[in-house]
Structure 1
Amino acid sequence: MIWFLILILICYAILILSLAFGFTKIDEFKSENIIERTTFSVIIPFRNEAEDLPTLLKSISELKYPKELVEFILVDDDSSDDSVEIIETFLETVFNTNIRVIANNRASNSPKKDAISTAIKIAKNNWIVTTDADCIVPKKWLKSLKNFIQKNNPKMVVAPVNYKVKNNFLEQFQLLDFMSMQGTTIGGFGIDFPFLCNGANLAYKKEEFLKLNGFEGNNNIASGDDIFLFEKFIKADKKSVKYLKSKEAIVTTYPVKTWTDLINQRTRWAAKTSDFSSIKIKLIGLLVLLTNLLVVTSLFAGSIEIIFIPFIIKMIIDLFLFLPTIRFFNHKSSFFKWYVLASLLYPFFSLFIILKSNFFKYKWKNRAFKK
């Protein structure tokens, strides 16, 4: 048992240190004054987002990008609140903003994939950008994306997403989890093994989306509008998928407000992992699962010398990736106050989510789904 534990921790350390090294290998992109024009179609699905839409719309209105070069397609996925009315009221007060609202055309088990597909059919521009209704887009978002595209000629661009959190345990715990995913995403690109992305800040060519038959083949899975499409682009031409590491391009979103919502959200995210096509990604998932399982079991080992050793080792290993990540996303001040407690809870939480995602239903936007 001890030797197995040591072996798992060594493998886990190699993984995290490799990703930390990869994080530093991705240079921060500095926007240049590139004259070439790029047109975008920004697609934003929404369902009952009356609380968050005003903030999103305000950030859209403040974008520093020529209005004639971008259209915004907001896709209403059967909202029962006044989301549509909020958008219409906004359009009455803000002029020269190319925003339109369309209804989702449901055709599969995945409402969000249907919403994106519905919008792509009518999108005027070749570059599709997706984000979420509970996000805030930075002023230089599209300018940074345009400059990156012109300089690197990609077919898909993965970009950073941040959390805006309050100083309480629930939100700081979510930040810990989310920053681990963001650091892993960047680190994966840095070691030439990209395997994560986030649909809240993702861009790709419409022509390539259509060539790859969009979400066909995985639209029976409720979530994964980002990762399964990402896998298709990687398989078709890995070198054409790039990461935009730029503070000017960071889209900001919010953590959920209750533990129940967090469990449902993370269960939805975890439900798609077994459908990844890459064996390497599944092995990474298995390694993380075993590491968390061994940390949890060691806490009940009964020996004072053993109880906290794996937990402390894992917490130290994780810092190698967390430190550059929180520095990039500017979370230094609040992070360490909650780090130990969040790290202690996380293995239990992770194992619970894996169990729930495989055997139980979860709710998303007041709809019930099962793996």
Structure 2
Amino acid sequence: MLTFYLLFVIVYGLLLLLLGKTWKQKPQIFPEYRESELVTILIPYRNEEQNIPALFGQLSGLSHRPLQVVFINDHSEDGGKKKLDEWIESLSEEQLDIISLESEGEGKKAALKTGIKKAFGSLVLTTDADCFLPKDWVEKMIRPFSDESIKMVAGPVLPKGDIGFFQNFQQIEWASILLVTQAGFYFQSPIMCSAANMAYRKSAFLEVEGYHGNEGLLSGDDEFLLKKMVHKFGPESVVYLQESLVYTQPQGSLKALFSQRIRWASKWNSHKSLSHALASVLPAAVQVAFLWSFSLLFMGNPGMLVFAAVWILKIYFETKSLGNVLRSFEIRPHWIWFLFTGIVHPVYVLVSALGALFVKFEWKGRYSSGKG
């Protein structure tokens, strides 16, 4: 057992270093997208009254014009739509067209399907109402479409951090998600992306029939669409634009965080592919192995030494690889947050995995049995 754990943590560390190497690869260079055509941004929202006002200034500040923004209300139960409509009435800019719609169905996929019908742009971007968009976001995201073979572009998303352990934990954990996401695109076997920072050709969306076949799932509007694009057009048709970062609001409570993660994990077997299954099962198995390493403490001095080596190396490799991801965005969490995250993360992953199997999760007033 002692030998197993020494080999285990070495393999784990080497895998993290390999993933980190893919992150450091030089980004693919695309020429400027010179077509001055209309671009559409779709923003489905539900119960986002507190976040929508902050989004107004960001949308007005986006440098790309002409621009169409389509908000789709997914049966909100707060005053967000009223604030949105008041803002739209106050707008006078001709090249910024804002539309407010009511979703024709229930769930995020239905809202996006409603929005795509009103999208006049041949290029469609999607984001969430709780995101923070850089001024040049549109220009960066549409640049790869200068290559006619590109059908879809995805970019990284990170929650804002810097305020205590809870927010820094989320940021460090998301760094691990970005690392795996980038590696999937690099090895031409993409398995995940985020609709909070995504773009695609409207024609390609229609050609793969959008979300047909997975409407019944509460989550996965991004990953299932990515999978369809890859299946239809090949892995070379999708791009991960590492330099186009969008920030989002961190979860405000432990309950909300677990609900989000359980929602993400719950679709692990819905993709019907080996790569998705492995990407879901292996991380949980690795964290179980780390938790089981506590049994080494009952094996005398040799066991204690190996236990110490395993956890020191674990935290070292995670700090190095995930720290490199965050530093590429000029984010430098204190080393203490990596230490705490490395200790807590195995329990967190295991609870999320068990929750995905046995717990009925809630998300914005809807439960896992509802339509997505």
Shared fold, TM over 0.5: yes
Which one of 113, 120, 127 corresponds to residue 123 of structure 2?
127
| Contact 2:33-2:144 at 8 Å conserved across structures | no
| Contact 1:134-1:254 at 8 Å conserved across structures | yes
Per mean C-alpha deviation after superposition, the further-off stretch among 344-353 and 20-29 is 20-29
Name stretches of at least 5 consecutive residues in structure 2 with no aligned partner: 299-303
1:146 to partner: Cα distance: 2.7
| Contact 1:298-1:306 at 8 Å conserved across structures | no
User: 5 Å matches for 1:20-99?
Assistant: 20-27=20-27, 34-66=33-65, 68=66, 70-96=67-93, 97-99=96-98
When normalised by structure 1's length, the TM-score is: 0.91
Q: How many positions carry a matched residue from both structures?
A: 362
Take 1:225 and 1:106, find their aligned partners in 2: how far apart are those partners?
14
In the other structure, the counterpart of 1:281 is: 276
**Identity percentage of aligned residues:** 28
Name stretches of at least 5 consecutive residues in structure 1 with no aligned partner: none
| Contact 1:73-1:119 at 8 Å conserved across structures | yes
1:313 to partner: Cα distance: 2.2
In the other structure, the counterpart of 2:247 is: 252
Q: Please state whether the residue corresponding to 2:269 is helix, strand or coil.
A: helix
In the other structure, the counterpart of 1:198 is: 194
Q: Please state whether the residue corresponding to 1:75 is helix, strand or coil.
A: strand
1:205 to partner: Cα distance: 1.3
Take 1:6 and 1:210, find their aligned partners in 2: how far apart are those partners?
51
Take 1:149 and 1:229, find their aligned partners in 2: how far apart are those partners?
17
User: 5 Å matches for 1:284-303?
Assistant: 284-303=279-298
When normalised by structure 2's length, the TM-score is: 0.91
1:151 to partner: Cα distance: 4.8
Instruction: Give the AA of the match of 1:92.
Output: E
1:46 to partner: Cα distance: 0.5
Take 1:345 and 1:152, find their aligned partners in 2: how far apart are those partners?
45
- Once superposed, which parts of structure 1, at least 4 consecutive aligned residues long, lie more than 6 Å away? none
In the other structure, the counterpart of 1:18 is: 18
Q: Deviations over 1:152-175 (max 9, x none)?
A: 741000112222124211111111
The reply on whether 1:181 has 2:177 as its aligned counterpart is yes
1:220 to partner: Cα distance: 1.6
Take 2:164 and 2:153, find their aligned partners in 1: how far apart are those partners?
33
Q: Deviations over 1:291-331 (max 9, x none)?
A: 11111111243242243332222222323431321112221
Instruction: Give the AA of the match of 1:112.
Output: K
Take 1:335 and 1:204, find their aligned partners in 2: how far apart are those partners?
37
Instruction: Give the AA of the match of 2:112.
Output: I
| Contact 2:5-2:293 at 8 Å conserved across structures | no
| Contact 1:298-1:308 at 8 Å conserved across structures | no
Q: 1:150 to 1:316 in 2, by over 3 A?
A: same
In the other structure, the counterpart of 1:360 is: 359
In the other structure, the counterpart of 2:341 is: 342
| Contact 1:25-1:190 at 8 Å conserved across structures | no
1:145 to partner: Cα distance: 2.0
Instruction: Give the AA of the match of 2:16.
Output: I
Q: 1:231 to 1:35 in 2, by over 3 A?
A: closer
Q: 1:39 to 1:4 in 2, by over 3 A?
A: farther
Take 1:343 and 1:261, find their aligned partners in 2: how far apart are those partners?
21
Q: 1:217 to 1:26 in 2, by over 3 A?
A: farther
1:188 to partner: Cα distance: 2.6
The reply on whether 1:326 has 2:323 as its aligned counterpart is no
1:185 to partner: Cα distance: 1.4
In the other structure, the counterpart of 1:102 is: 101
The reply on whether 1:264 has 2:259 as its aligned counterpart is yes
Instruction: Give the AA of the match of 1:215.
Output: Y
Q: Please state whether the residue corresponding to 1:242 is helix, strand or coil.
A: strand
1:233 to partner: Cα distance: 1.0
Per mean C-alpha deviation after superposition, the further-off stretch among 307-316 and 154-163 is 307-316
- Over the aligned positions, Cα root-mean-square deviation in angstroms equals 2.1
In the other structure, the counterpart of 2:152 is: 156
1:92 to partner: Cα distance: 2.8
Q: 1:113 to 1:39 in 2, by over 3 A?
A: same
Q: Deviations over 1:144-202 (max 9, x none)?
A: 22333215741000112222124211111111111111122123323333222111001
In the other structure, the counterpart of 2:301 is: none
Take 2:216 and 2:32, find their aligned partners in 1: how far apart are those partners?
43
